[in-house]
Amino acid sequence: MTKINIPLDQWAKIPHDIWDSHWFLLSAGDYSKDEFNTMTISWGSFGTIWNRPFAMVVVRPQRYTFQFMEKYDDFSLCAFPTKFQPTLNLLGTISGRDNDKIKESGLSVQPSKIIKAPVFNEAILQIECKKIYWDDLNPDHFIAKYIPRQYPMKDYHRMYFGEIVAIETDSSFFNS
């Protein structure tokens, strides 16, 4: 059997591109109680752990969304066409603690199919996750020398692993 080299950028294109180029809105809370928040994230991963598909997200403790991630058992991830990047930038820089940033964004919040956290109507990809594990990043375990520069305030992220329980998309996702 002849083997060929697969360039890393081709192997990782879809998951890397969606995190790095499209970003996500991470939402946690309870839509039915109108108690939730969202934030823009561009760091995370998808994979398989404990024989289940998962999404891993990271949240710094000072972010307003952190308290919702701690209180509730699920979260959603929504990806948008690139034309929404100014909106996602707004949602990533304004805190929901002091502002109704979702209303200001003009996006339409709607209930998820399975979980309590909301999703967004304009999203081209909606991923619903139930939390299965969390852990705090430990700076003693950083191997690469560039990582500590990401934490000048030593505000290390908390990682949340969520089992993916539902995904919805439309054909525009594959063309965006």
pLDDT of residue 1: 61
Residue 71: exposure state from Cβ atoms within 10 A (0-12, 13-18, ≥19): exposed
Give CA separation, 18 vs 15, 23, 99, 130, 164, in Å. Answer: 5, 6, 27, 20, 16
What's the confidence (pLDDT) of residue 174?
Answer: 58
**pLDDT digit of tens for each residue in the chain (176 aa)?**
664 565 656 555 677 777 887 789 999 999 999 999 999 999 999 999 999 999 999 999 999 999 999 999 999 999 998 899 999 999 999 888 988 999 999 999 999 999 999 999 999 889 999 999 999 999 999 999 999 999 999 999 999 999 999 999 876 665 55
| Backbone dihedral region for residue 29 (phi beyond 0: left; psi -120 to 50: alpha; all else: beta) | left
pTM of the full predicted structure?
A: 0.90
Q: How many helices (H) and strands (E) does the chain have?
A: 5, 9
The encoded tokens of residue 76 equal 């959603």
Contact 125, 79 (CB under 8 A): yes
Q: What is the number of residues in the chain? A: 176
Instruction: In whole angstroms, give the CA distance from residue 162 to residue 127.
Output: 10
Residue ranges of domains in the chain, CATH in brackets: 8-175 (2.30.110.10)
Give 50's contacts (C-beta < 8 A, 6+ positions apart): 132
